[in-house]
Every structure is written in structure tokens, then in C-alpha cells.
Structure 1
Amino acid sequence: MGIEKLSRKTEIELTNMCLICDGSKVLVQEKTGTGGLVFPGGHVEEDESLLESVIREIKEETGLTIENPIACGFKDWIQEDGTRYLVLLYKTDKFSGELKSSNEGRVFWVDRSELDSINLIWNMKDLMEIFDSDRYSEFFFKIKNGKYKGELLG
């Protein structure tokens, strides 16, 4: 009777999101189906580096070519079926091109001072703590008592 080795592999859906800054303005996206505003991003494709994926997604969704996106943290949650959903968070203030919306949703600039008053999806304000400081690196949440419970981790 041999010892069964437990698998440490977990199914993960890899995505990204990028905070793009232009002075006091940030780029937001009214992404189809989210019910609010988010920062642009999307899925990591097969045979694509994480860096390549965020550059490609931003180009597809905004028309902008970003440069030097800096990884600053991640959003991580365990879905009801046990799979993990991981959003790699990037930020940059270096870009070129002409802003244009895509079928993913309308994109437009807002002043940072407006972020508290606009319709951001429910955890975007928590993510701003990761984008804007070195205090936190992860927003992690899971289902507790039938509801998602999230927290910022440093």
C-alpha cells in the first residue's frame, strides 16, 4: 500500500488590470456586464507572458500602447467551484496612441478626485490602496457564510 501524493495544483484563471495615469487623470472603462467602472485589462492568453498580456489587452481595449507597466499587486479570490481567479495589477503613466473604445466597453479619462463619487465596481476602491501605496500588495477574498468576504493584505 503506497502513499498517495496530494496534488498541489490548482486551476487558475489569469487576468490583468492596469491603472493608466495622465497627470491627475486615470483611464476608466465602462466594461460590458460589470455594472460599473473598472480599469482596463483582460485575460492572459496561452503562450503569452504576463507582461505581453497586459500590453496587448490595453491596446485592444483602449487603442493605447502602454510602456513600462509596473506590477504592483494582485486581486485573488477562490470561486465557488474551488478554482482561483487571479488579477495581476499593473500601473503606468507611459503610453502613446489615440484613445478609442472597443466592444469590451467605453473608455474615458476621469480626474482622480472623482474616484470616490463615480460608479466603480464594488472592490475598486480597495484596489486603489494597492495601486497608490506600498502598504498592501493583495486584495484576497473568499466565500464565508455564503457571502464573499474580502480584505487587503500587506
Structure 2
Amino acid sequence: MSRARLITLTNMCMLTNSQGKILVENRQKSTWPGITFPGGHVEKNESMQAAMIREMREETGLIIQNPQLCGLMDFTTATDEGYLILLYKAQQFHGQINSSAEGAVFWINPQDLFHYHLADDFWEMYQVFAHKDLSELYGTGQDTNWKTTLL
């Protein structure tokens, strides 16, 4: 019996500016709308970090430098689709914000997140970005009983 697991590799990045604001995206995708961080799929023959830099440029217009892996989100959908999301943080960037078809992007103070409609499970993901002692988020099906794993 094979232990192989078919998964889709994706990424997400919390970009912070010099004033401590974070860049968020108001996703317009009907299957996962709301405030989240920019990100997307890792393409074939692309490194994880290169994919993160590309996705940020495509969705925000910004070119990030030195994104640092800070955690993982691993989940399986109710239809048995596996996803592994690599969570990155970055503070170095250049360029001008330019929203994409994915949704509007803008800077907010982290404490203002509750004033917005957050994408499903975004708050749980944000905990991994925000707390150095958390590294993993795991879930199955369409439940919201996420298990946050400590380092």
C-alpha cells in the first residue's frame, strides 16, 4: 500500500510595512471570499519561495524580498482534496500596490481585522503568522475544528 498523498501546493504571505500595517486582500472568489493574505499555487518546476514572490507580484503589484517561511497549513477538503499552504512573512518590498482580479489589496492595522469580513478560517491562519510559538494548522473536511500545533 502506497503512503503517497496527492496534494496541491499553495502559499500565502503576510507582508508588513514600516508602520506595522499588514497588507490584506479582499478576495472576490465565490468559494473563499473575504479578507485574507495574498498567495496562490506553486507551479510545476517552480521553487516554493519563487512562487511566493511571483504570487505577491501578480496579486499586489509589489515585489517582495527575503520571504521567510513561518508555518504550514495542511487540510483535506470534504471531497478528499489535499492542500499544503506554505505561510510566509516578509517586510522588504518595493513597487506600488496594484489590486488584481483576485480582489482589492490594502494596508490595515492588525487590530482592525475584526472590522472586516474575514475569509473562512483566516483568523486561525493569522494566529500562526502572528505567534512565534505556533507553526502548523491542520484540518480535515469542512469542519472548523482546527488544531494548532506548537513547535
Indicate whether the TM-score tops 0.5.
yes
Give the aligned residue type for 1:41.
G
Q: Which residue of 1 aligns with 2:81?
A: 83
After TM superposition, the score normalised by the length of structure 2 is 0.91
Tell me which of 10, 33, 36 is aligned to 2:34: 36
2:132 corresponds to 1:153? no
Tell me which of 10, 33, 38 is aligned to 1:15: 10
Q: Which residue of 2 aligns with 1:107?
A: 105
Quote the offset at 1:90 in angstroms. Answer: 0.2
Q: CA RMSD in A?
A: 1.4
Q: Evaluate the alpha carbon distance shift between residue 113 and residue 81 of structure 1 in structure 2; reply closer, same or farther with a 3 A threshold.
A: closer
Identity %: 37
Q: Which runs of 4+ in 1 moved over 3 A?
A: none
Q: Which residue of 1 aligns with 2:122?
A: 124
Per-residue displacement from partner, 1:54-73 (whole Å, max 9, x unpaired)?
00000000000000000000
Of 66-75 and 105-114, deviating more is: 105-114
2:13 corresponds to 1:27? no
Tell me which of 47, 70, 74 is aligned to 1:49: 47
Give the aligned residue type for 2:54.
R
Give the gaps of 5 or more residues in structure 2: none
Give the gaps of 5 or more residues in structure 1: 1-5
Q: Distance in 1 between matches of 2:115 and 2:105?
A: 17
Quote the offset at 1:81 in angstroms. Answer: 3.3
Which one has the largest radius of gyration?
1
Q: Distance in 2 between matches of 1:13 and 1:37?
A: 22
After TM superposition, the score normalised by the length of structure 1 is 0.89
Quote the offset at 1:148 in angstroms. Answer: 4.5
